[in-house]
Amino acid sequence: MNLKDFKIDLPPNWREISRFGNENQFGIKIYHVSPLSKVDPDIREDKILPSSNPRVTITRVGVPTPMASPLKDFYESTKGAILSGFMPAEWTMQRLDKLHEDLIKAHYPDDGDFGADIAISQFQAEEIAKQHFKNMGLMPTQGFDVPMPMGKDTQIPGAPKNLTIYQYLKDFDKYISKEFLEKYVPKEQLEKIGPEIFEEIKKAKPEIKKMQSELKKVQEQQMPQIKEQFIKSGVKYKEGKYLNCDVIYIESKNPSPPPKPKSSSRKKSNIGGGGFETRFDPLPKIPQPYQKTLITYQALLIKNFVITGSLLSIINSSLPGTTPCYSLTKFKKKVSTFREGGEVFQDISIVPIVSNYAKEGYLYKEEVEEILKKIIAKLSKNKK
């Protein structure tokens, strides 16, 4: 498969920012469009609306939102604070504009609330892809002392079958020496390469020696300390299954302590999910069992392809689409009547109805999985 023009069908609330690719490598940067970018920013604040009756007060209640504002809201609010004199003197409009520009380049455009990347690597054979995949779980504690990814048709002439990446790089000058190549590489192949290759190798020897010296320092001096710290942290790299594919994942202890049992003597609160009084309908409670360990996916293996990227890492930290929240576009009236001084008054509250993440367009787990499922399906159909 030529990955240069690989297409990904993104869900409606996702956009492509940039991409790179060649025949065997593909990368794409994408972002999620915040539903808050499509509504009035003031929707999150209480607002008194005009009333033709002095005894009737109409309030549009601010909508509690579960996620961060889009980038443009941060820019506009900070801009307002600077122009009003509420920010320190060093915060100028020039500094804000530069920060705004940098955030867009590093993360996502003004209407976004989350950015991620996806990378796909294609290997010559499935066994090469599999070893490369396995090495991703081994290298954090073993460094380069892991098996060299090689297939049946890609063995290095004259090299041992159990060759490691460290051994290969440590003896790299040997494997590209004239004596070695003339001994193990067929004469016809060397003639195709040409004698100039040996002159280039000779010129590169100082850099090769420098690289080998640095590699030895990392592998033999720094890696034992890194491994010890890694073991102490309790973090483990493991292999498992996800979406019917082999997956490398990080297993770590949950830094948050388990929730304490609720006291039965506590009075029930009439506060809605957004922290407001009974003007809101309470959000439905959904089970959220405490997880002692956290799982973060790192890489997926599909045939002779390996998928990596930050999109994988948010799978288990994303909430499902059924997670309750309040609607950004649908409201209802709640009317309360009271008497004061012999007169009747009304308080009309326009409040958002109960909705969920999927309906409102917030980032949710199933939508992220949908992107990955489409990629996996497309790669699975590839015929070498």
Query: Model pTM greater than 0.85?
Result: no
List b or e across 303-333, with b for residues whose CB sees 16 or more CB atoms inside 10 angstroms: bbbbbbbebbeebeebbebebbbbbbeebee
Half-sphere exposure of 185 (CA within 13 A, CB side): 17
Domain ranges of the chain: 152-233
Cα distance from N-terminal residue to C-terminal residue, the chain = 7
Residue ranges of the chain whose pLDDT lies below 50:
265-276
Token look-up 């955030």 returns 103
Would you state the pLDDT for residue 60?
Answer: 93
DSSP string for 329-353: EEEEEEEEEEEETTEEEEEEEEEEE
List b or e across 75-89, with b for residues whose CB sees 16 or more CB atoms inside 10 angstroms: beebeeebeeeebee
- Provide the 8-state DSSP code for 189: H
Please state the φ and ψ torsions of residue 323, each to the nearest 5 degrees: -60, 125
Long-range pairs, 95-102, Cβ under 8 A, ≥24 = 100/71, 100/75
Would you state the pLDDT for residue 16?
Answer: 95
- Residue 188's CB: how many other CB atoms inside 10 A? 7
Token look-up 């609720």 returns 262
In terms of Cβ atoms closer than 10 Å to its own Cβ (0-12, 13-18, 19+), residue 255 is exposed
- Alpha carbons 78 and 131: distance in angstroms, whole number: 49
- Residue 149's CB: how many other CB atoms inside 10 A? 19
Would you state the pLDDT for residue 383?
Answer: 67
Would you state the pLDDT for residue 10?
Answer: 95
Closest CA to 110 of 45, 42, 31: 31
Would you state the pLDDT for residue 161?
Answer: 82
**Sign of the Cα pseudo-torsion (48, 53, 54, 57, in order):** negative
Would you state the pLDDT for residue 270?
Answer: 39
- Alpha carbons 185 and 182: distance in angstroms, whole number: 6
Closest CA to 309 of 20, 13, 51: 20
List b or e across 264-300, with b for residues whose CB sees 16 or more CB atoms inside 10 angstroms: eeeeeeeebbbebeebbbebeeeeeeeeeebbebbbb
Q: Do 334 and 276 form a contact (C-beta atoms < 8 A)?
A: no
